[in-house]
Structure 1
Amino acid sequence: MGQAIGAGVLKYKSLIWRTADTLRGTGVKESDYPSYMAPFFALALVESRIKRLRTEKMAEFESETGTPFNQADANHIQWLQINIQNEGYGYHPDIAQLGVGLAELVKVKTGNFYVQVESFLKQFDPETKRLLGVDYAPGQPKFLDIKGIALDLSSRPNDPLFTFCAGAGDTPGWAHVDLVEFDNSEVTTLEEHIKRMWADISAETAGEQYTPKDLIALACALGIEARRPNTNSSQICDVYDMACGGGNFLFAAEEALRKEFPGLSVRVRGQELNDALYALAALEARFRPDAQIAWGNTLTHDHYLAYKSGFIVANPPYGVDWKAFAATIKTSNCGRFDASRMPPTSDGQLLFLQHAVFHLEENGVGAIVHSGSTLFSGDAGGGESETRRWLFQEQDVVEAIVQLPKNEFFNTGIATYLWILNRNKPESRKGKVLLINAETCFKKLKKNLNMKNCEIDPANRTRILDCFKSFTDSDISRVMDVDDLLYNKVSLELHRHDEEGRAIQKSTAIDAAKVKSIVVDGMHYSTATGGVQQSASSNVGPSGSTGSSSGPLTAPVDSTDGSAKVFVDDFNGKVRSSEALSIELLDGSVWTMNREEHRIQEAKAGGVVNEHGLGVLSVKAKVAKSKAGENIRWDISVDPFMESDTETIPYSSRKDEHGNSLNDKLIADFIAKWVRDPSTIKAKSVGSEINFNRVFPKLAQIRASKDLLLEIALVDESLRAIEEEMSKFLTKSK
């Protein structure tokens, strides 16, 4: 877990950070300092590990042979070289054989210092050179690009490369950074603090967030507790981080497992896309037993496809677009993803979650940090909701979700959540998920670290861990049945009725030949003689038009001027936006509809009014061509008033004593109770979401009305005083 930083490490944290002062005035932007410092930090790390190993191997030689190690003896040097190379830490002849590194190099500057640095770097073994970025072919990744950084600095005025390495006056350079005294764990702690400070000043890629050590400690504690029932000292446990960055989360999990289960054999695997972070993690992995870091896009090129893990940790990017490689993922047949579980290309978080579940071994657990969108984004049947349903219901692999304090991260204040996965949940926890609201489980920092203003201190970490252990309801925890995290989305077609249960039951066409006029919001489109005709100099339209004394309600027009279509478009537009619509028939009866309420009335010639309830009076004009020209024809009918509706209904996976689904009964009972009008189910699907605010409601503090009235009176008094002052000022200015 995240270590408390000791005085010695703290000294070097300050020393390393002060090397950045040598970049001031060189033209390097402050936000770019990390890209200049990271390669030299990696160089100091490699150099220190080789020097430590050199000392250990020399002592080992003397212990085994009983002979003092002789630097001048070629056999002794050969033995030392072979044994250092066999460890796989990296190799440099000057460092390994003579203990000579950057500190000695700056003391013998001759001519072009860049040439000296380049010559020194080229003596490293091929893998170290690859990661440091010493030798790379055109078009190949440069990783830490130490060669490019050194060349850039040496080409600037006054050659700041030498000062960056050697320091100036009281300002230290990288030659002063000697990490030999620190073991791997201490170096990891130091690196964690340095990278956090780099993250504060650099413009991080969207969605990529450095994981704070207090969150790492909580994640490791919960993950270990989830794994504890299925762990014994004779086992092998593989730790895996699919988006490992510089390796802090991954290596902290490794150390936490080793500390908690001393006899456990722990192996480490990670993958990272960012060149520089990958190189830092890969370099450190060389100094750890059985640790490997792969480079590349985890979603498209999984280097550990056949690998199953016992403990997965990750803080993958939030809200990062994956459109550029969507085709590759959607056509993948490796088993990690499914077409029904594809999230929108604007956010790939749930892809990482599916990837993690794929890699869990039979007793595997996971602790993965995500933003809030993974809990509730997407509708039932969509990729995001389907992923959650798959996780909760089909896989039953989510043991707990912890809502973290706000402003927990350095560069974002968004709400974040820790998902605890468990492939082998205890029997009593199967079909259940524990929600922990740890939003208030923090201690305020004395000084903000960029946007981070709080931390999950040991006391609050214990409080959260105790909730997870007890797996019961408390003031900050709720045990949820998986069914409670699911819901039915039911699409209904409603046949609307009025308050007395009346409605048009079926569609009835009205013969246009029997229509005298159509009234749209008071405007009459009449056919006093049975038809509507357009002359060459007038438009088809309201009353006053003449036509034949028989036949359908049509309007023969000049087929060349296009006026029929103009009329039809105008008329249909008026009907669609109308508030009132009436059809007057030749027999004296009138059908009317109030569009707001959809009430249909039929007034007979004798004054009798029939209330038909709710319905739709439909009128549509169309252009019909004939030899005589273009005619306007009419479709007129009285139809049932049908509306679509969607209901969100609780879900149940249980069955009754006869084996019938209770979910169907739940839906039927809900509709019978809450849906007044007759309805038909057109479609239904099962969705999944988690709303922490609903599970842990916040009580609103409502102020007393007398206090509000008093405050309003004070505001009124203040406004009157301002008005009086303005009035006096205006009077005086006249």
Structure 2
Amino acid sequence: MNILQYESKIWATADLLRGCGIKESEWPSFMMPFFALAMIESRLVRMFDDLKAEIGVNAFTKIHKEDLYDLIKDKGQGYNIFIFEKTQTLTDICKNDKSFEIDFDTYLKGFDGETKDLLGVDASEGEKFLDIKGVITKLKAKKVLFSYTKLWAEIDLKPFNNSEITTLEEHIKRKWADISAETAGEQYTPDDVIALIAEIIASKIEESDTLLKIYDCTCGGGNMLFGVEDRINQKFKRLTQTYGQDWNDALYALAKIESRFRPDSKIEHGNTLVEDKFDNEEFDVVIANPPYGVSWKGYEKDITNDKTERFKYLPSISDGQLLFMQHLISKLDADGMGVVVHNGSTLFSGDAGSAESNIRKWMLDSDIVEAVIQLPTDEFFNTGIYTYLWVINKNKQPHHENKVMLINASEKFKPLQKSKGSKKNEVDEVSRLEIVATLSAYQENDYARVFDREFFYFNKQAIMLTNVDEQGRTFETHLPLKEDKFGEMKRVSSIELTPNKIAQGELELTEFSITKYDATQYASLESYCADAIKPKVAQLDYKEQPLLITTADANFFYDPEKETLIKEAGGITEELGCGKIIVSANYKKATKKLSERIEICVELTADYQKDYEIVSYHKDVAVNQTAIEAFMARYISKPFEYLENVVGVELNFNKIFYQPEKLRDVSVILGELANIDGQLKLLEQEILL
């Protein structure tokens, strides 16, 4: 029997929901608890039958009830008194519509306490995990509870093992994600990507007597966590143990239920970034597909004040992906490795000096990034974007050390015969094995490159340019020298003028110490300054139109054609060099000698401009500085001073694997044009006729 025969049957239950007016977006919340019910019942019945076979039928009938329940509890998979004592299942309950509601209520209350909590059997306020109580209330109101439950009772999962049930669960949860995901950040990991992740992990581990601990910090319903474990178990005899955490109530409940039927699996509920439920654990393998582009503003205070030291830098509050990445790295043991799914923003978002860039630099400095693999587009169910697998490894082979491999697997896929939402492609088995072989070989080919880690670093060199006029002159030479507090002679920043008049177009100012204002319009002299004077002064842009500053002995203005300040005095015109005219208005509080006032000031200063240049990085400090200086000598012609230099990191697949569009042969284009010309002439003849 193929368990996937039940996929269509399970989704047929949605027809009843549609028929009674329940919105499609709400279907998962109605289907999840009943699917969980079918899973739990099938496994409890199978566990009960296995227990009978283990003990022997004759011996089993003689076991005292309390001893039997002790044996069942020792299994750690939960229990149901109704099933074990009455030997009745959901199918039996649905045979009698008269007693159904009473029996169904008894059936639900017969579960152990943890199962009832996960199902939400006794939920009193709001949604509680799977909230079956709330769902039942709504179905009763629609008068379809019996019909709906009966459909689910026809789904018999008892003949199937854990791995097979997980496979069905993955298919069902994929459709739930397709229907209910509100943003592209909520990603259900498709089975082919899970298989690729498992293959990568399998290529990095070996048979051993030691336990292999696998951890997913955003495990959702457990599809990736348990899918990877199943595939590892198919390849190795090594014992595995899974750990997962998620804060979505319903998905946590599904993962928790699944975990109880796996040997030594631990699933916890809560926000990993705020409360790590495995804070004292380290893992051999970490995996995750954290949400993309999802804000962490709601718990900003907790993360900012986090005392675990796992967050080296805090990325943009609008996207928490790199918080999860830092958390996962902190959970690796000394030889641990992992595979993490991200979108493109983790590769290049944020400028040099930003938290995102610093996180990437920290990761590469730590030599923990072994490879990044670009997956095809249209791989996920509700987005067509490129996604990337970050392969992190604390136990790199010697020839992998201080290097990073980029694998462009964007063309390694097989188109699906029928699209599944946005998913049109899958990384088929042949492609998966080829990608893993390329990673293992760690040698370049036509779709993979290996780089020294510093290749991805760059200098963002800040400089202060001094703009000059057409003659190469700057007003800076007119600024007087003054001794600073360290005894060094430095030029002052500006020369202050004492104006008699400021004129620009129709606007003219002749008062430069203002003490009076209209009290009927303004609350104070300070508000008059802020609301009336400053906006007027802000309009005085010396480059927009001629601005004339008149002092007692000279006129000053800016000549835009020559890009220089001009001084006219006694009929003599002097070009002062490139500079700025700065007019400002400032409110001054009253002092012992002076009353409160608004002062309008005019300053002449050199035209300085802060700029940034992106320069290739060299790990040798002296070579790096020489490269920066050579770049400046080649490309910067104006006088400048060096300011701070910040090293940034980005991994740009487009730049490395860019393929220019192949131009068509000119003869082909000319042939097409001749053909079009011929068609136009025929049309012209038809019109004339």
TM range (shorter): 0.7 to 0.9
1:467-486 aligned within 5 A: 467-486=438-457
Match of 1:671 among 632, 640, 655: 632
- Alignment-derived partner of residue 130 in structure 1: 117
- Is 1:695–2:656 an aligned residue pair? yes
Match of 2:92 among 95, 104, 116: 104
Q: Secondary structure at the match of 1:267?
A: strand
- One-letter amino acid of the structure 1 residue matched with residue 425 of structure 2: C
Match of 1:121 among 79, 97, 108: 108
- Alignment-derived partner of residue 373 in structure 1: 345
Shift of 1:124: 1.2
Contact 1:488 1:684 in 2 (8 A): yes
Q: Secondary structure at the match of 1:320?
A: coil
- One-letter amino acid of the structure 2 residue matched with residue 663 of structure 1: N
Structure 1 residues 232 and 203: alpha-carbon distance in aligned structure 2, compared to 1, 3 A threshold:
closer
1:346-361 aligned within 5 A: 346-361=318-333
- Alignment-derived partner of residue 731 in structure 1: none
- Alignment-derived partner of residue 423 in structure 1: 394
Structure 1 residues 128 and 554: alpha-carbon distance in aligned structure 2, compared to 1, 3 A threshold:
closer
Cα distance in 2 for partners of 1:696, 1:196 equals 32
Cα distance in 1 for partners of 2:514, 2:44 equals 97
CA RMSD of aligned residues (A): 3.6
- Is 1:653–2:585 an aligned residue pair? no
Shift of 1:100: 1.9
Structure 1 residues 554 and 280: alpha-carbon distance in aligned structure 2, compared to 1, 3 A threshold:
closer
Match of 1:616 among 569, 580, 589: 580
- Alignment-derived partner of residue 337 in structure 1: 311
Aligned length: 659
Which sections of structure 1, spanning at least 5 residues, go unmatched?
1-6, 63-67, 167-172, 526-539, 542-552, 656-660, 726-734
Deviations for 1:5-30, whole angstroms, at most 9, x for unmatched residues? xx521212222222333334222222
Cα distance in 1 for partners of 2:657, 2:25 equals 40
Cα distance in 2 for partners of 1:645, 1:57 equals 76
- Alignment-derived partner of residue 487 in structure 2: none
- One-letter amino acid of the structure 2 residue matched with residue 423 of structure 1: K
Deviations for 1:523-544, whole angstroms, at most 9, x for unmatched residues? 7x9xxxxxxxxxxxxxx65xxx
- Is 1:280–2:254 an aligned residue pair? yes
1:530-545 aligned within 5 A: none
State the TM-score, normalizing by the size of structure 1: 0.81
- One-letter amino acid of the structure 2 residue matched with residue 641 of structure 1: D
Cα distance in 1 for partners of 2:216, 2:352 equals 30
Shift of 1:427: 1.9
Cα distance in 2 for partners of 1:331, 1:636 equals 46
Shift of 1:633: 6.2
Match of 1:254 among 229, 238, 242: 229
- Is 1:402–2:377 an aligned residue pair? no
- Alignment-derived partner of residue 295 in structure 1: 269
- Alignment-derived partner of residue 243 in structure 1: 218
- Alignment-derived partner of residue 161 in structure 2: 183
Contact 1:554 1:631 in 2 (8 A): no
1:385-396 aligned within 5 A: 385-393=357-365, 395-396=366-367
1:284-683 aligned within 5 A: 284-338=258-312, 341-393=313-365, 395-498=366-469, 500-508=471-479, 520=504, 559=516, 570=536, 573-576=539-542, 578-582=544-548, 592-595=557-560, 598-601=563-566, 611-618=575-582, 635-637=602-604, 639-655=605-621, 661-683=622-644
Moved more, 590-599 or 423-432: 590-599
Q: Secondary structure at the match of 2:648?
A: strand
Q: Secondary structure at the match of 1:391?
A: helix
Cα distance in 2 for partners of 1:309, 1:13 equals 34
Shift of 1:590: 6.2
Deviations for 1:481-515, whole angstroms, at most 9, x for unmatched residues? 221222222221111234653322334587867x8
Structure 1 residues 593 and 444: alpha-carbon distance in aligned structure 2, compared to 1, 3 A threshold:
same
Contact 1:342 1:351 in 2 (8 A): yes
Cα distance in 1 for partners of 2:167, 2:233 equals 16
Shift of 1:617: 4.3
Cα distance in 1 for partners of 2:386, 2:173 equals 23
Structure 1 residues 89 and 640: alpha-carbon distance in aligned structure 2, compared to 1, 3 A threshold:
same
Structure 1 residues 189 and 519: alpha-carbon distance in aligned structure 2, compared to 1, 3 A threshold:
same
- Alignment-derived partner of residue 34 in structure 1: 28
Contact 2:119 2:132 in 1 (8 A): yes
Cα distance in 2 for partners of 1:91, 1:418 equals 40
Cα distance in 2 for partners of 1:511, 1:654 equals 46
Contact 2:468 2:563 in 1 (8 A): no
- One-letter amino acid of the structure 2 residue matched with residue 668 of structure 1: E
Deviations for 1:103-142, whole angstroms, at most 9, x for unmatched residues? 111113334x323211111111111111121123546x62
Moved more, 432-441 or 202-211: 202-211
- Alignment-derived partner of residue 58 in structure 2: 69
Q: Secondary structure at the match of 1:191?
A: helix
- One-letter amino acid of the structure 2 residue matched with residue 118 of structure 1: D
Structure 1 residues 347 and 57: alpha-carbon distance in aligned structure 2, compared to 1, 3 A threshold:
same
Shift of 1:233: 1.5
Shift of 1:662: 3.5
Shift of 1:405: 0.7
- One-letter amino acid of the structure 1 residue matched with residue 170 of structure 2: E
- Is 1:208–2:173 an aligned residue pair? no
Contact 2:184 2:383 in 1 (8 A): no
State the TM-score, normalizing by the size of structure 2: 0.86
Contact 1:90 1:124 in 2 (8 A): yes
Shift of 1:629: 12
Deviations for 1:549-588, whole angstroms, at most 9, x for unmatched residues? xxxx86798945699976886466234453344557777x
Deviations for 1:277-331, whole angstroms, at most 9, x for unmatched residues? 1111111111111101101111111100111011111111111111111101110
Shift of 1:189: 0.6
Shift of 1:175: 1.3
Contact 2:38 2:155 in 1 (8 A): yes
Q: Secondary structure at the match of 2:474?
A: coil
Structure 1 residues 686 and 628: alpha-carbon distance in aligned structure 2, compared to 1, 3 A threshold:
closer
Contact 1:380 1:686 in 2 (8 A): yes
Contact 2:342 2:387 in 1 (8 A): yes
Contact 1:498 1:613 in 2 (8 A): yes
Contact 1:311 1:360 in 2 (8 A): yes
- Alignment-derived partner of residue 17 in structure 2: 23
Structure 1 residues 520 and 43: alpha-carbon distance in aligned structure 2, compared to 1, 3 A threshold:
same
Cα distance in 1 for partners of 2:515, 2:64 equals 111
Which sections of structure 2, spanning at least 5 residues, go unmatched?
480-493, 520-524
Structure 1 residues 598 and 276: alpha-carbon distance in aligned structure 2, compared to 1, 3 A threshold:
same
- Alignment-derived partner of residue 88 in structure 1: 76
Identity %: 38
Shift of 1:520: 4.0
Shift of 1:682: 2.6
Match of 1:155 among 120, 134, 141: 141
